[in-house]
Amino acid sequence: MHDDDMSYAVRAMRQSQPLVHCLTNMVAAPLSANALLAAGASPAMVDNPHEARATAAAADAVLINLGTPQEETVEAMREAVAGALDAGTPWVLDPIGAGTLPWRSEVALELLELGSPAIIRGNASEILGLAGGEGGRGVDSRHRAEDVMDEAARLATRYGTVVAVSGEVDHLTDGEEIVRLANGSPLLTQVSGAGCALGALMAACAASGAGPLAAAAAGTAMLTVAADRAAEGARGPGSFAAALLDQLALLSPETLAGEVRRS
């Protein structure tokens, strides 16, 4: 993937203001919606089974986040994935807690069997868990991204998808190429739902028509370059979270291209 592909994805996203249908968790919902708005996309947070299929079919991208699943929202997720697949809408899976929590692990695999997402995003433990290994403790990761890239690549190949593993250095792979992005602040780990917002931004970029690897990289670069800038004046996680939204809105594709660090 060239840096140009990433810049293209961001620029195209900004111009098209994609409608991103989010089925996400109750902790991350406000930050995810605000991150999408700040980045220039438009969130639709419809998570009931009656309306999820039509919303997904009408949206430009769909995000499925398994943070706080309930029977009714899981049913809505099934509908949304079906609607996205029918309409050719790219969808992103964020399998929070996969590998640790059996019920949602099954749900994640069931959704993957419906058809391939454009991107699977998680931390190292979740990716390992989804690939069949042992997961983490809670939502934190006890593995590093670089240590699970064999499993990530196999997962990417099995489902024909891009797997994005968050970590100190973010690792993204389509099963062949590995993209490593090294921006971001430790403060991101102190903001609940920052990873979930990242999944939402990837979905927004996946709507741009750029390939999924470029979209995953573009979303990652947006959040982490904004985080670099937000961390500069922050006193702690509260002021950082507000500044992160400010910086997402201020970020130009040119700034992004100049500040993103591949490693």
CA atoms within 13 A on the CB side of 56: 29
Check: CB of residue 213 under 8 Å from CB of residue 172: yes
What is the smallest separation between the CB atom of 191 and its own copies, expressed in angstroms? Answer: 7
CA 107/CA 76 separation, integer angstroms: 12
| Candidate residues 3, 5, 16, 37; the one interacting with its own copies per rule CB under 8 A | 37
By CB under 8 A, name the one of 38, 108, 215, 221 that touches its own copies. 38
Query: Least distance in Å: CB of 179 to its own copies?
Result: 28
3-state secondary structure of 244: helix
Binding mask 180-209 for its own copies (x = CB under 8 A): ---------xxxxx----------------
Strand order in the sheet with 61-65: 42-44, 19-23, 61-65, 91-94, 119-123, 162-166, 170-173, 178-181
Residues 64-123 touching its own copies, rule: CB under 8 A, are 67-73, 97, 101-104
Using CB under 8 A as the binding rule, whether residue 44 contacts its own copies is answered as yes
Give, in degrees to the nearest 5, the angle at Cα 130 between 164 and 166.
25
Contact by Cβ (8 Å): 66, 104 = yes
Q: Is 249 one of the binding residues for its own copies (CB under 8 A)?
A: yes
Annotated binding site for ATP: 121, 166
Residues that bind its own copies (CB under 8 A): 19, 25-31, 33-34, 37-38, 42-48, 50-51, 54-55, 58-59, 67-73, 97, 101-104, 137-140, 189-193, 234-239, 241-250
